[in-house]
């Protein structure tokens, strides 16, 4: 390999690792802000994590469940239940789909 090709490969791998780290940090911070009842900031951090890079199906379900809980805490129950319905239908085999179904049944 020539030097420019190696440099491009290293730069690409570095950017990918940085995006993954940013997503992990955003998710962690979202949970911290949720616990502190800073729900608007929680939603912003969820959006940041969603936009950082492609995510696994499980991570998408996790963020959607956190988003639904956050909207519920903000008093926006209809938005929250839309997310719960999505999780119950599209992620029914995950823990978040199960938890969402519980939320819908408790309604």
User: 48 and 67 in contact (C-beta within 8 Å)?
Assistant: no
The DSSP line for 21-52 is HHHHHHHHHHHHHHHTT-HHHHHHHHHHHHHH
pTM of the predicted model, to two decimals? 0.80
Banded pLDDT at 15 (limits 50, 70, 90):
very low
> Could you give the CA distance from residue 107 to residue 93 in angstroms, rounded to a whole number?
21
Digit-coded pLDDT (tens) for 26-53: 899 999 999 999 999 999 999 999 987 7
The reported pLDDT for the residue numbered 3 is 56
Domains of the chain: 3-105 (1.25.40)
């Amino acid at each position: 390999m020539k030097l420019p090709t190696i440099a491009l490969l290293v730069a690409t791998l570095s950017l990918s690792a940085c995006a993954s780290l940013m997503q992990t940090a955003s998710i962690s911070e979202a949970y911290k802000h949720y616990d502190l009842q800073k729900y608007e900031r929680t939603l912003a951090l969820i959006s940041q994590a969603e936009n950082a890079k492609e995510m696994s199906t499980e991570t998408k379900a996790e963020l959607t469940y956190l988003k639904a809980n956050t909207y519920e805490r903000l008093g926006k129950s209809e938005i929250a239940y839309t997310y719960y319905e999505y999780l119950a239908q599209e992620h029914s085999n995950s823990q978040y789909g199960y938890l969402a179904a519980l939320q819908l049944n408790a309604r």
